[in-house]
Structure 1
């Protein structure tokens, strides 16, 4: 008889993405397990190609809002049950309401250990305790082990597409005839200012790379402001930049990422998507720090991350998830990273 596991995780996109290696490894280890992921509709496609994994798209911004919305969501989930265990992989007010309802009706509930106390100690302004913390993937795995499902995380890649996804522009076929041209993805945006390397650096960076190697740059992101910025880059480098933002759906973006020679990004969901795709990666970090548990999974931080050391800037990290203000007031953690430094690291990856 199949065992049914319900996993609750609504946001953010990077945190949902980090469930992918866990769920894939869980179902590989337990052929009798069926998993339902409850998450925002836009995140569901990351799980579409997994056997015995289904997605319940829960629009918690419009359809299932407030306590009454969580009650309605609970009722719909119960109709698809019963579940052997309900996993709260978010530990947020929404999932707290849901798990309370499941407990009330007799379901087994397990909550993953978010590590709030040690993360706060790592990111506070004074007297930091800067011991590397477990990766979020490991925290998810341990929660499932606590629920009675021990397993090891499989080797990468974790994001794989069950069928070829092509787009109308024919980029993939184009690459085959351009073996000497490096395909570089650029994803410069994040939710918080302390994660974003100054945007004015990218023209100099692109110019520096083009002086050293033939390259085509694919610009990843979303939103009107981001697209407007990308269009300005394309105006400066019309033959070398392609704006992806706003043109492709998530699975198409992942398919394109898997053809890149390198993804250059910040601490963001695009970093996690690239890492889970197993492609070469270079990530710029500022106010956050990979040792808090959100670094690119299964990648060497020394090779794949550019950051100012904590010996030089003891204030790092100033936040677990990012913030809009800087303890020092000058965002030195980002401004001390120059286009030349990044360009040199990019070229090292191509040697």
Structure 2
């Protein structure tokens, strides 16, 4: 017998710890739940860095789990929520760590992914599963949880909060200049292979400067890999056309920098999804991950898509024959993207009028 779903939940738990792009793609599901039930209480169990990005999100109570604390951190959350009972737990993290964390939460019904999408045997930890769906974008996979609960209005909206302190932080970096924002590096974890070349970015920066007088603000974390990329780009283009702000902003400050940019250019990483959430023109660079699954949702038509070429070249397979979302883990895959590809997309998004840019891009 299936566990019954609540007709009008009073308290919903969301379990999604990471990552930055994914939590941005989950926010529209939160907004859809709030539209359906304006008085619903939502508690989101989230990772530490992801919370620093979304803190202040209206109508949401956050419980922060620092993954570095391991089981001790889980026990602390279980104690914190010992007297809290949820009508439904939306288990939206396909990872064994999250499933273990879910065991200490009290909920009438636990909803997870369908078996085909449930990694790390997540379906063993849930009572109900969302309906199977082939070839879904990440945002739509999250929205399927709301659909299962009976939500019909699934228009994507974000309304991400940006405090004035973050805007001041951004202005200290950029002044009043008009600029494009480039986040050249994805997460520097092992075998990620999502980074484009410094030479490619240099060609794009020179085009933006010579044709539009737009400076390029480089952003990113403080890792050695990211700082080295910034130095290499600056060495190729000089300081006149570029502001190197890698490692210089908080996550809220980055959000403010993105919000004030004319356009955003980045590989598959948090900044393209942050830009999408803010309605900023976004050019995503994709070769190692499938943009049909993970492109900036409202700017899917403007990605540079070399993923099919990478699948053929480095996996030696036809794109339609591989599993949905399979990555091309080859260090040369991003070299299939050329500066002219990116410049062509830049020309397209900059040619859009303000009404065109805003159409279909809810914030």
TM exceeds 0.5?
yes
Question: Closer, same or farther in 2 for the Cα pair 1:194/1:57, shift >3 Å?
Answer: same
> 1:350: which partner in 2?
350
> 1:23: which partner in 2?
30
Using the alignment, how far apart are the partners of 1:106 and 1:336 within structure 2? 48
Q: Normalised by the size of structure 2, how large is the TM-score?
A: 0.77
> 2:80: which partner in 1?
76
Question: Closer, same or farther in 2 for the Cα pair 1:228/1:335, shift >3 Å?
Answer: closer
> 1:124: which partner in 2?
none
Question: Closer, same or farther in 2 for the Cα pair 1:110/1:343, shift >3 Å?
Answer: same
Question: Closer, same or farther in 2 for the Cα pair 1:229/1:91, shift >3 Å?
Answer: closer
Question: Closer, same or farther in 2 for the Cα pair 1:70/1:313, shift >3 Å?
Answer: closer
Shift of 1:83: 1.4
> 1:139: which partner in 2?
141
The answer to whether residue 263 in structure 2 is matched with residue 267 in structure 1 is: no
Aligned length: 319
Using the alignment, how far apart are the partners of 2:61 and 2:284 within structure 1? 31
Q: Which has the higher helix share?
A: 2
Using the alignment, how far apart are the partners of 1:106 and 1:282 within structure 2? 41
1:286-340 deviations in whole A, cap 9, x for unaligned?
Answer: 021122x2221233x23x11123737954457983745436xxx52xx2232112
The 5 A counterparts of 1:108-127 are 108-113=109-114, 115-116=116-117
Shift of 1:157: 5.0
Question: Closer, same or farther in 2 for the Cα pair 1:309/1:40, shift >3 Å?
Answer: closer
Using the alignment, how far apart are the partners of 1:190 and 1:144 within structure 2? 29
Using the alignment, how far apart are the partners of 2:185 and 2:323 within structure 1? 18
Question: Closer, same or farther in 2 for the Cα pair 1:135/1:230, shift >3 Å?
Answer: same
> 1:229: which partner in 2?
229
Using the alignment, how far apart are the partners of 2:310 and 2:288 within structure 1? 13
In structure 2, list runs of 5 or more residues that go unmatched. Answer: 1-7, 120-132, 352-363
Using the alignment, how far apart are the partners of 2:225 and 2:251 within structure 1? 19
Question: Given the alignment, which residue of 91, 94, 99 partners 1:91?
Answer: 94
In structure 1, list runs of 5 or more residues that go unmatched. Answer: 119-130
The 5 A counterparts of 1:149-228 are 149-161=150-162, 163=164, 165-168=166-169, 170=171, 174-175=175-176, 178=177, 181=178, 183-191=179-187, 192-222=191-221, 223-228=223-228
1:199-236 deviations in whole A, cap 9, x for unaligned?
Answer: 33222332233232211111121123212321343354
- Asked whether the 8 Å contact 1:87–1:112 carries over to 2, the reply is no
Q: Give the superposed CA RMSD.
A: 3.1
Using the alignment, how far apart are the partners of 1:169 and 1:133 within structure 2? 37
Shift of 1:132: 6.6
> 2:50: which partner in 1?
43
Using the alignment, how far apart are the partners of 2:268 and 2:231 within structure 1? 22
> 1:286: which partner in 2?
287
> 2:337: which partner in 1?
337
Question: Given the alignment, which residue of 320, 332, 336 partners 2:325?
Answer: 320
- Asked whether the 8 Å contact 1:18–1:137 carries over to 2, the reply is yes
> 2:296: which partner in 1?
296
Using the alignment, how far apart are the partners of 2:54 and 2:274 within structure 1? 12
Shift of 1:156: 4.1
Question: Given the alignment, which residue of 50, 61, 73 partners 1:54?
Answer: 61
- Asked whether the 8 Å contact 1:187–1:264 carries over to 2, the reply is yes
Which range is displaced more, 242-251 or 161-170? 161-170
Question: Closer, same or farther in 2 for the Cα pair 1:113/1:219, shift >3 Å?
Answer: farther
1:105-157 deviations in whole A, cap 9, x for unaligned?
Answer: 56321113484389xxxxxxxxxxxx9712222222222333x3514234445
Shift of 1:190: 1.6
Using the alignment, how far apart are the partners of 1:136 and 1:323 within structure 2? 18
- Asked whether the 8 Å contact 2:205–2:242 carries over to 1, the reply is no
Using the alignment, how far apart are the partners of 2:252 and 2:47 within structure 1? 15
